[in-house]
Amino acid sequence: MTEVKRLSYYVPVSTEMLAQADELAAAFRAALVAPPPTAEQKRAAAARRAQELAAAVARHETARTQLSGRLVDVLDLHRPQLPEYALWLQCHGCEAEGYDAEPPRWPCTTWCVAAGQQA
């Protein structure tokens, strides 16, 4: 024979509290479910991403022309990248540890030190 144990609670709930809970749940749903972006919004976002990446690549190229030897290699390893899934520029040259680790934002500290620039 299997014995099933249940925790028992007694939580007094008034009709007003239930109504408030429904209102809160509706407010959360409304806040969490945003309408999908329009085609124009998607084009604008893609243009912003391309512009951001182009500016970062230009900054990177300018910095690397002022360096030589191994510093160019270091800079190239830590170059700006913007994968499709990423929300911001990333450095894939830095170690990202842990199963859920994300690459750091670009410019990373290593790139800044090698280029002699501030983030």
Binding positions for Zn ion, rule: CB under 5 A: 78, 91, 93-94, 108, 110
Rounded Cα distance, 113 and 48, in Å? 27
Q: Based on CB atoms, which residue is closest to Zn ion, 52 or 103? A: 103
Residue position matching structure tokens 């191994």: 70
- Burial class of 112 by CB neighbour count within 10 A (0 to 12, 13 to 18, 19+): middle
Tell the smallest beta-carbon distance from residue 108 to Zn ion (Å). Answer: 3
Closest distance between Zn ion and the C-beta of residue 109, in Å?
Answer: 7
For residue 34, the minimal CB distance to Zn ion (Å) is 32
Closer residue to Zn ion in complex, CB, 7/87:
87
Q: Is 103 exposed, middle or buried (0-12, 13-18, 19+ CB in 10 A)?
A: middle
Nearer to Zn ion, 63 or 93 (CB): 93
